[in-house]
A and B are shown apart, each in its own frame.
Chain A
Amino acid sequence: MSAPAFCTALGQAFTKAFPHAQPGAGLTGGIMIGLAAAIMLLALGRIAGVSGLAARAAGIAQSGAPRSTALAFILGLPLGALVVSLITGGVNATFPATPTLIVAGLIVGFGTRLGSGCTSGHGVCGLSRLSRRSMVATGLFMASGFATVAVLRLTGAL
Chain B
Amino acid sequence: MSNPENTTKGGQMGNTTRTFLALLSGTLFGAGLVVSGMADPARVRAFLDLLGPWDPTLAFVMGGAILPMALAWRIRLRLERPLADSAFHLPETRTLDGKLALGAILFGIGWGLGGLCPGPAIASLSLAPASAVPFVLAMLGGMVLHRMVTR
Contacts and interface: CB of A to CB of B under 8 A. Distances in A.
Interface of A: 18, 20-23, 25-48, 50-51, 54-55, 58, 60-61, 63-66, 68-70, 72-85, 91-96, 98, 100-116, 118-120, 122-125, 127-129, 131-133, 136-138, 140-150, 152-154, 158
B84 A43 contact: yes
Given A72-B22, A103-B138, A20 B53 contact: yes
A124 B71 CA distance: 12
B43 to A, nearest CB: 8
A136 B100 contact: yes
Contacts of B54: 18
Contacts, number: 502
A115 B94 CA distance: 13
Interface string B77-97: 001011111011111011110
Nearest to B114: A104
Interface string B35-69: 11111111001101111111111111111111111
Given A29-B36, A40-B25, A148-B48, A101 B116 contact: yes
B10 interface: no
Contacts of B119: 50, 77, 118-120
B106 interface: yes
B13 interface: no
A127 B45 CA distance: 21
Contact of A141 (B66, B81, B111): B111
Contacts of B69: 34, 37-38, 41, 124-125, 128-129
A91 B48 CA distance: 21
A103 B139 CA distance: 9
Interface string B4-25: 1100000000010011111111
B36 A152 contact: no
Contacts of B45: 149, 158
10 contacts: A38-B72, A42-B82, A65-B89, A76-B25, A80-B123, A110-B146, A128-B69, A141-B105, A148-B111, A154-B51
Contacts of A30: 32, 36, 60-67
